[in-house]
Amino acid sequence: MPVIVVKTMGRRRRGRNISGILLLDKPLGLTSNAALQEVKHLYKAQKAGHTGSLDPLATGLLPLCFGNATKISAFLLDADKRYHVRVKLGETTTTADAEGEITGRCAADHINEADVLAVLPQFTGEIEQLPPMYSALKHKGQRLYQLARQGLEVEREARRITIFELRLIHFDGPEFDLEVHCSKGTYVRTLAEDIGKALGVGAHVSMLRRTQVGPFDEEGMVSMEQLQQALEDEGMQGLDNLLLPIEAGLAHWPAVHLGADSSFYIKQGQAVQVPKAPTEGWVRIYGVDEEFIGAGEIDEDGLVAPRRMLANLG
């Protein structure tokens, strides 16, 4: 007879059922997931997620979504981003940043500010970008960075991205600083590497800081140290006071306000007509008593269609 093994699962401790968004200033050297787990542990939160990874070398804005806020995290993942990046000319590395091993050196003393300004226009607007091997993208079920660590390189498809703004803010050869406003899926390391190639000397990222994600900027960011201090000073309430409401993540969208009947129907998954609603795009939806109830989209009939509703997504 086959042996049937019955596993008795211990009761898992449920965390606190909190909802909101924390604007974490991710520290240097920590992965985004490690930062998320540390903060989730501090909050004793039942459910939390981040809105797009930052490299361990990178610092800056990492919005963390708790509870119901995870239902809108995809919108922040898809949002435009801004970065402050320092590019070092004359050195290439395995990872295109300072964490990697140096793979090449080239004299870059002859490159001046005018040279950098001259090549930037070719990297603005819609461009094709080849994702780096050191990335979390998958190839046949394996992360590219896992393959790269084995010394392997596989073919990748170039992806279309948009660089809305690329501004030189400081030049001190062989390094210079850029402000980058870009679409989702942009690899700033690859951008720096490509600029170095265009200048004929190679380059890598020596510093990277994210300064904006969708409607959020550096104002209101909280460091790990500030979280610890808030916990020591005011306990869990001190931490909760640092959370932003869920709808803050969609603050760059117009709002529509529904009466009781429309609120009922939209919560049942039906599109509703709203006077003076926008004619297209995404909207924040508020029900009776100005309660935020979810995210919607104007459909082809001009109705407000529910897309991510807090009330009926469990």
Mention every residue, 6+ apart, whose C-beta is less than 8 A from residue 195.
87, 116, 119, 120, 123, 203
Q: Pairing mode, if any, of strands 102-105 and 203-213? A: unpaired
Q: Are 191 and 180 in contact (CB under 8 A)?
A: yes
At residue 124's C-alpha, the angle toward residues 118 and 129, to 5°, is 110
Q: Name 63's bridge partners.
A: 23
Question: Which of 183, 142, 181 has its CA nearest to residue 159?
Answer: 183
Q: Which of 25, 55, 97, 194 is catalytic?
A: 55
Residue 132 CA to residue 204 CA, distance in Å, equals 12
Token pair 């990222």 is found at 205
Report CA Rg, the chain.
Answer: 23
Q: Distance of CA 205 to CAs 19, 92, 94, 120, Å?
A: 36, 9, 11, 16
Residue 293 CA to residue 286 CA, distance in Å, equals 6
**Residue 177 a catalytic site member:** no
- Residues serving a catalytic function are 55
